[in-house]
């Protein structure tokens, strides 16, 4: 049992990251997106350090990289379900974790969702679909939705306009500036 607990502890916080280590973790990120991905991770390293801990990163749990069919554009997604030693997972909860969509120098914070990519090859377009917990969902007639039931959002990167687009503009997806 002791060995199992020690193993779990190593798995949870084995990949502790400091500001000097970021480049090692993002070596596979396209050059155009690397500085923006680094800004997002640096913010969480600093927040965790302010809580007296070290940030834990798991590549498969925190990063998604996808080539969108329109453009072609490479998008990186950072899901901030990072562990912070001594503080657990302070940015995550039943509603998910902060989720950032990064294309070049642009960083968009979107709904807390682990996104999936739907490639429409015949139209050469990629739609991004996110799953959400019921607390942020509503019916098509804007009625409250049962808290336990899921819903989904879909949005699209408009390569020509260099921004995301949604039907009827009802998705909170805002560009953030980590330099301010």
Q: Which pLDDT does position 8 carry in this prediction? A: 31
The domain in which residue 76 lies consists of 2-176
The alpha-carbon radius of gyration of the chain (Å, integer) is: 18
pLDDT per residue as tens, the chain (180 positions): 333 323 333 334 446 666 567 787 788 899 999 999 999 999 999 999 999 999 988 777 788 999 999 988 999 999 999 999 989 999 998 778 999 999 999 999 988 888 999 999 998 999 999 887 767 777 777 777 776 778 888 999 999 999 998 877 666 666 778 887
Q: Which pLDDT does position 15 carry in this prediction? A: 60
Q: Which pLDDT does position 170 carry in this prediction? A: 66
Q: How many CB atoms lie within 10 A of CB 100?
A: 21
- The pTM (predicted TM-score) of the whole model is 0.82
Q: What's the domain count of the chain?
A: 1
57 contacts: CB under 8 Å, gap ≥ 6: 15, 17, 25, 41, 82
Q: Which pLDDT does position 5 carry in this prediction? A: 28
Q: Which pLDDT does position 16 carry in this prediction? A: 64
Q: Which pLDDT does position 113 carry in this prediction? A: 83
Residue 52, token pair as written in the block: 């007296």
């Amino acid at each position: 049992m002791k060995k199992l607990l020690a193993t779990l502890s190593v798995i949870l916080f084995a990949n502790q990251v400091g500001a000097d280590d970021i480049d090692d973790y993002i070596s596979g990120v396209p050059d155009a997106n690397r500085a923006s991905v680094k800004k997002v991770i640096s913010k969480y390293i600093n927040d965790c350090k302010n809580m007296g801990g070290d940030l834990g990163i798991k590549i498969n749990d925190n990063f998604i990289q996808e080539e969108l069919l329109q453009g072609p554009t490479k998008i990186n997604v950072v899901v901030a379900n990072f562990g912070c030693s001594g503080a657990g997972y302070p940015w995550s909860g039943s509603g998910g974790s902060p989720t950032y969509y990064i294309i070049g120098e642009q960083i968009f914070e979107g709904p807390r969702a682990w996104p999936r990519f739907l490639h429409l090859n015949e139209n050469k377009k990629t739609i991004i679909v996110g799953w959400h917990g019921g607390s942020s969902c509503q019916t098509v007639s804007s009625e409250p939705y049962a808290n336990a039931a899921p819903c989904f959002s879909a949005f699209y990167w408009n390569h020509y306009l260099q921004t995301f687009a949604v039907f009827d503009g009802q998705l909170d997806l805002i560009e953030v500036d980590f330099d301010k």
